[in-house]
Structure 1
Amino acid sequence: MDSEKLDNQLKLALDSTNRQRQKTSDLEIGYDEEESTWELIIKYIGDIERIQEELDMQLTVLFAGYAVIIIKQRLISRLSEYDEIEFIEMPKKLQFAVNDGRAASCINPVQRTETGLFGEGVIVAIIDSGIDYSHPDFRNPDNTTRIIAIWDQTIAPSGDLAPPEGFSTGTLYTRERINMALRKRTVPEQLELVPSTDLSGHGTHVA
């Protein structure tokens, strides 16, 4: 194994037993004990699809030479030996910090000045805990949704529902489908069409 290509946290996780990883949540991020696989982020050059085929790993290409993979633990050593692989790291756990984020982004002073900029006409992508799409703040006056789409990466594709083009994880709910859900009278009926929720409420608050 070319250990120089592995980030320190991944090295520690691979050197730990399952029991040790369970005691430290940061060491089991991306690990599926039942399948003995890891979801990892890689930096690469060249033909990554050839490596995907040779190691039988799931691959989602991002941009700028980055990709997300799902690979058997026993094959990580072989992966690191490919010249095309520059770096391998574990996913990182995101933390909630709404108020700190507003301050760091200088949002408050911009909204308090005479400019009164509140982002009208701007499309925003939010990566968070989810969104309550039925909330009044995300509806137009005619009760249709203001949301362009929801990509819920916790819901597996099924039937005619699939991830966004070029990706293999999660389910994409379009504006049209969200509007269909909003026309339903009860929450259970809405969730049959768009079962995406925001259990913590953080993503809804950020949006």
Structure 2
Amino acid sequence: MKKLFVLKAFVIAFIALLGLSLTSCNDDKYEPIPVKIGDENGKYRAKLITKQGNNRTEKIIDFVAKDSVITYKEFPVKEIVMTVLEDEAKTNVALDAMGDIEYKLDFTPKLLAEQNVIELELEPKVMTLQIPVDGQTKTAVVTFTANEKGYYVGQDFSMRYGFVADKITVDGADLTPFEKIEYSFPYSLKY
């Protein structure tokens, strides 16, 4: 009888303690850390989605944002080279010979304090590639455009943006037909 009483008292105390621990305070409010220009600077690990027609690839890449410039030490150019050469074996040989391609993407930051984000006006530069093929070198000039703005989000310290390779010129002549190559960075985390 005494054991039953102790067990009941223990269960009642446990339920009361559980009930108290689940109640929240009325003054629990999320106060975001306000962003400021310069918060977008840093090292990022990004998910890159590349689309060209029905082909889609995903990979993880790193980049650095500093002083209104995003710098990729290893920009993925496989789709560009494949478009120029139209042969996978030659593309792989050319990519090995070319090594890592650095690309710099300029942007202008604008603070949107009411949304706690920094808007990024992207200003893509032209990329020039020297593509070795069959003992010769083809010069490819890639023109990028950014039709949408990017954002640095203060809530999770992430950057989101995208741009498009919408024209390639090979040895002075426009590459036709050409299907645009979309580079989308839907989620890039600062580390």
Report the TM-score when normalising by structure 1: 0.21
For the pair shown, the structure with the greater C-alpha radius of gyration is 2
Larger helix proportion of the pair: 1
